[in-house]
């Protein structure tokens, strides 16, 4: 099963066609020849600082996703505003056998190498300071 997740903030008038298309384009790339149907979850008026499991549709998505399923976020910011929040959520879903994809990034956060490359990029962006995120060993 493929699930799509979109978060609309309070200042966005409606879910954009770009967000929907981004998820669908990613689903097409993931198609394994068996066809696909994307089941969408959408939270509205929720800031990215609220953890996914505390959002109404985010919680429903987490409860619905099972081993072998894929979850596609239209934007990385739809999952969380923090790197540690994103990495933690991906790890939790991976432990349950769920693969996570972000339509707006090329990083494969389902692998240690992908997570470390993402963290390297983030740490380079903010500079090496106390808010840097630790890589996996």
> What range defines the domain where residue 48 resides?
2-110
Supply 56's token pair.
């109404």
In sequence order, which residues have a C-beta less than 8 Å from that of residue 127 and are 6 or more positions away? none
- Counting the structural domains of the chain, the total is 1
CATH number at residue 8: 3.40.50.1390
What are the CA-CA distances from residue 100 to residues 32, 45, 116 (Å)? Answer: 16, 23, 16
Per-residue pLDDT tens, the chain, 137 aa: give them: 889 998 887 666 666 777 877 888 888 877 666 667 888 999 888 888 888 999 999 999 999 999 999 999 988 888 888 888 888 888 899 999 999 999 888 788 888 888 888 877 777 766 655 455 666 66
pLDDT tens per residue, range 65-74:
999 999 999 8
**Torsion (CA) 107, 109, 115, 119 in degrees, nearest 10:** 60
What pLDDT does 133 receive? 61
- Does 48 reside within a domain? yes
């Amino acid at each position: 099963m493929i699930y799509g997740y979109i978060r609309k903030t309070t200042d966005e008038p409606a879910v954009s066609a770009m967000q929907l298309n981004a998820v669908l384009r990613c689903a097409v790339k993931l198609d394994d020849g068996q066809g696909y149907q994307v089941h969408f979850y959408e939270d509205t008026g929720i800031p990215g600082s609220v953890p996914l499991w505390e959002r109404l549709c985010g919680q429903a998505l987490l409860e619905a996703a099972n081993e072998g399923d894929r979850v596609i976020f239209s934007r990385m910011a739809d999952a969380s505003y923090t790197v540690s929040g994103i990495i933690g959520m991906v790890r939790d879903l991976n432990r349950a056998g769920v693969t996570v994809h972000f339509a707006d990034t090329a990083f494969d956060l389902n692998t240690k190498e992908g997570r470390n490359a993402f963290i390297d990029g983030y740490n380079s962006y903010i500079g090496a300071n106390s808010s840097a995120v630790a890589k996996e060993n």
